[in-house]
Structure 1
């Protein structure tokens, strides 16, 4: 049995987990997307379904996989492919490899971090907000619309308002300014929220482990602090109140995400708001600032990645109990 990693070696979280597993001499097989044009995937749909991957002449049976960590990019957008016509054999081949591997990832009995069907919920922030509220977190008043009049009324009602993407596409969170052209929202549904004052806390859930980092920054979006002319954020590892840790674990379970990056904010009154959940978090930034062993948790302590033992808390989480 082995551990499958699928993605790009230059992707820092993928590289960190692969390095951890190799250091432990774990049975890991890295499926490098850079070799997508040298990759074929054959599915035997007989009595016992079998999926075999061949890369540059080397064959690997996915039936041997007992655990998988996935951070695939769109192979058709890799250098040398994104400029090709969609009708080209190379473009179609890359798209088909992605499609078959994603389908395998959703149906395999292996322990997958994370399944594509679970990660798909990130495409709708309103869908996520329902799960967030269900887990017991506060959610700021939110408006998703392409009606400029509704936006103007929302701003009159709440005053200090931020704007962000409504989808899973990365966007820069910022406050609505008086110079903004509200009519522009007619071209695309956009998400607006009342701004919540407080301190950002990024939480990474890995199975039943919780890693929290407090972020000291005066920027509206600390990810872009330097680009916006603010000082660099200062990150500190913290212990969450037990009830907040439980909510984070419950939220990840509700969304079917063994690995999740959860964005929280603690208000001056001690209330905990949650804004969104990243199903494929770039945890290495936080790990490098806090020293938290997130890659080791994803890779498995001692290289023992895979389904938790039956009856354990982690098993109950994976099973959705």
Structure 2
């Protein structure tokens, strides 16, 4: 049987331009860990795969025009939002769509079968990224969460606003920008709801409403394995106080400690979803309570490291270099 080599390469599967992946690759290079970085969107046009299975895990070659690795020697996979495989545009439909599905099943299915550490496995990442599933798990592990409503019913929103008895916000249920035909891309920020302005447009799609949580500041908590890196985010504008992503220029940062009960809840949350990484967003109330809003299992973290000096990339590299679980 082929044995896994602890000194083998790390696969970094991401899009071409990814500052976070760049930082991790740099840290792996410092540790003399071999790396093959690629985007699945280049398979099968400029990436080739040839693997075989007998009694052992899949063994064989994954290669691009610059490098190659033997998959049975891979020690870990860092997976961050790559493009999907794409066959030649010269192939006509319906064969092109069918071939794209075959390419995805062949490449990602083979990678799935590797008995190694993932940050994060994409199927676990996908399940954990859904906000409706996040909040009950957080509450079950002792984390405080805001009262929330998901609905397409305008009357339900009005009742919710009345029950809350204070400010209510509306936010997207999932990430992703608005993409216009002219190529413009804009984010959809969290906004405060005017109860008098609620109308039938609510029925057009699902909406997420939450009670407004009074806060002295917010915290981006980045977790790598069991290591936690917490950064306070202080808003310097009205827009940033509602959604700090809407005004990065108005933000200042400080490093902070994580309360023991929050640490325990976050680790339980990650274990529930089988994740090795998570970027959590918390509000800290004036009385010091931490309230979890959400977690992005593949969230951005490079800007937090650059602003605070927190060694996030180094710990991701350490986790990957360690190899299989």
TM-score class, shorter? 0.7 to 0.9
What is the CA-CA distance between 1:194 and the residue it aligns to? 0.5
Aligned to 1:276: 294
Question: Match for 1:176 among 162, 170, 193?
Answer: 193
Q: Which moved more, 1:30-39 or 1:158-167?
A: 30-39
Matches within 5 A, 1:2-41: 2-33=9-40, 35-36=42-43, 37-41=45-49
Cα gap change, 1:206/1:136 in structure 2, threshold over 3 Å: closer, same or farther? same
Pick the aligned partner of 1:66 from 75, 81, 88: 75
The DSSP-based 3-state class of the residue aligned with 2:322 is coil
CA RMSD of aligned residues (A): 2.8
Question: 1:222 is matched with which residue?
Answer: 244
Equivalence for 1:318: none
Structure 1 match to 2:309: 291
Match of 2:55 among 47, 60, 65: 47
Q: Structure 1 residues 153, 112: CA separation in 2 closer, same or farther (over 3 Å shift)?
A: same
Partner in structure 1 of residue 255 of structure 2: 237
**TM-aligned CA deviation for residue 140 of structure 1:** 0.9
Q: How does 1:1-321 map to 2 (within 5 A)?
A: 1-33=8-40, 35-36=42-43, 37-50=45-58, 52-56=61-65, 59-75=68-84, 87=94, 89=96, 93=99, 95-158=101-164, 159-169=166-176, 171-178=188-195, 180-198=197-215, 199-217=217-235, 218=237, 219=240, 220-225=242-247, 232-300=250-318, 304-307=321-324
Q: Partners of 2:291 and 2:86 in 1: how far apart?
A: 36
Unaligned runs of 5+ in 2: 1-7, 178-187
* Alpha-carbon distance, 1:33 to partner: 4.0
Distance change in 2, residues 1:27/1:57 (3 Å): closer
Normalised to the residue count of structure 1, the TM-score between the two structures is: 0.83
Matches of 2:148 and 2:222 in 1, distance apart? Answer: 24
Segments of 5+ residues of structure 1 without an aligned counterpart are 309-321
Q: Alignment partner of 1:6: what SS? A: strand
Corresponding position of 1:313: none
Q: Distance in 2 between matches of 1:225 and 1:85?
A: 45
- Taking structure 2 as the reference length, the TM-score comes to 0.82
Q: Report the alpha carbon displacement of residue 182 of structure 1 after superposing the two structures with TM.
A: 3.2
> For the Cα contact (< 8 Å) 1:164–1:191, is it kept in 2?
yes
**Quick one: distance in 1 between partners of 2:208 and 2:86?**
27
Per-residue deviation, 1:296:
0.8
